[in-house]
Each structure stands twice: as structure tokens, then as C-alpha cells.
Amino acid sequence: MYEAEREFALNVAAQASRLARQVQEEIVANADSLTKGDRSPVTMADLAIQAVVSRRLTDTFPSDHLLAEEDAGAFEDSPEMAAKVLNLSRQAVPDFDAQSLATSLDRGDYHGGGDDRYWVLDPVDGTKGFLRGQHYAIALALVDHGQVVVGVLGCPNLEVEPGNPEAGIGCLFIAVRGQGTAVRRVDGIDEKEIHTDRITDPSLAVMCESVESAHAAHSVHGAIAGALGVTAEPYRIDSQCKYAIVGRGEASIYLRLPSAKGYREKVWDHAAGALVIEEAGGRVTDLDGKPLDLTSGRFLGNQRGIIATNGNFHEKVLDAARAVRDSE
């Protein structure tokens, strides 16, 4: 089941990864000329990738909806940006013109919910990592009546073999509900099944979290780690690559407890990654132990953070996290 969707997700994520890699290489090469705080390169990659994925979706599954972050409004005050995005996206879709590009971008305005089938896209997840020349992810998931059934993460800078840089970089993680999780090279076809680690004592775990403290409460995460007896330094990495890291056993815990009150998690930040971990043997819930709710539109229905583990001691992590939160 979902064979055609799996193949589509892999192919389009590989194509998107190559486009993103090209833009990031240009950022690194021209770092001296970029103004501090200039997000235009990642915006260009975001828009081009969303347009390409949207067009491929129209061609392959025309009745499916798309829920994504960007739209053509980004071009209103910047003809220069529009021209750059058009030029980049034509590398994948040669017959794009200005109008068809805008139409493809605006197709991502689906409202979400639990009553239909739609794809969820984060074209470049991990903006700051992308701009630093480090880690980011292309995240694409298929949601069928409120349940994620296919998820792919393109991680262009992640080592193919952990701890062995000579093996190269660039991975695609693919999960289908009920069929497990596998990894392949961005430019390859050979796949290897992956699993979360087998650690059963949380004190022996490695905890994964965001690089930026603005994205997650590092101090709270540290207190939770302390309550669990964790002594290893946290594995900090940008984007949904964190889900991939836990999925293939490099870390046992991923915490995302927002540092700002009232913050609402967006569907595209978690849909693909959560399935990658779950199908690799792990578990993903909110702070209350509830599965992620994708039936409430473009934001997750549950509001109390994200906790992902290898599945062996999830309840212990939940207990520690709730105790720390309740003591604040």
C-alpha cells in the first residue's frame, strides 16, 4: 500500500535536496558578501522547492491537496526575488513561467484537518542551519484522514554512515505506516532499514535538541535530563534532522518544549519526522502523552510540546518532563 506515493516522495525529496544543496553552496561561497540577517537565499530555496514539489504533485496526484508554508505573496515587493526563484525552479521544471510558478506556490494553501488526503511540506526546515552552511531538512508527508501514512526527510548534510565522514553526506529517510523506516543516499537507490536504539536505561541516553535556544527551552531540557540522570552532552542539530538522528539510534530522546508561552507547533514541522521515528520503533507524543493531532488545521491540536524517544522508556521521560514543567 502507498507504493506510488512512497516512490513519489523519494523522487521529489531527492530533487528538492539537490536544489537546496546548490543554493547553500552558493551561500557558503559568497558568505563575505551577504548582509547579516539576510534571509533571501533561504527564502529563494523555500519558494523554488515548494513550487517544484507542488507542480510534481499536480502532475502525479492531481486530486491531492498541499499544505505548505509559502505563497506567491513573497514576490509582490521583489521582482528580483521572483526572477531568481523562477530561474532556480526551472532547473527542475523547465516549462515554468511566472504565472505557473505563482499558481504552484499558492496551491499550498490547503487548510488541513482530518477529513481528506493531503501532503504536508516544509521546503527548507532549519533556516539558521541552512544559512550557517550546516544542517537542514526537506520534509514531506502524506496525511490520509488525519493520519500520517508516508513521510520522507531529505537531510543533505547528514552523514550517510554516522561517525564516518568518508562515506559521504546526504540522506533520505523514508517511512510508510506499517512498513518501517529506511535510509538511502540522496543520489542513490540502495536502502537500509533503520531502528531506534535498544537502550532501556534513560540515564544512558543521548538527548537531541535544537541548536537555537530560541526554538526550545534548553534550560528546561537540561533539568529533564538531570531528573533522568542523563550525563551525556546533548546532541544539538537544526531541523527535523533530529527525528532522523533518533530514528537511526544516534540519540534516544528528542525534546522540544517551546521557550515561549502560547507557542503553537505547526504541522509541517513534525508530520514527516514523527513517522520516521515511529516506524523505526520509537514513540512521539506531546507532554501529556497524547499522539500528535493533525486534525486541527495548519497547527497541531495539542499544545504542550513534543517528546520523542526510542520507545523503551517514554513514560519515564514524560514523568520527568511533567515534573519539571509543573515545578516552574
Clarify whether 285 is annotated catalytic. Answer: no
Q: Which of 122, 150, 120 is nearest to 297 (CA)?
A: 120
- Catalytic one among 43, 127, 181, 285? 127
Q: Annotated catalytic residue: which of 43, 46, 269, 285?
A: 46
Instruction: State the sign of the Cα–Cα–Cα–Cα dihedral 23, 24, 28, 34.
Output: positive
| 231 a catalytic residue | no
Would you please indicate which residues are annotated as catalytic (active-site) residues?
Answer: 46, 127
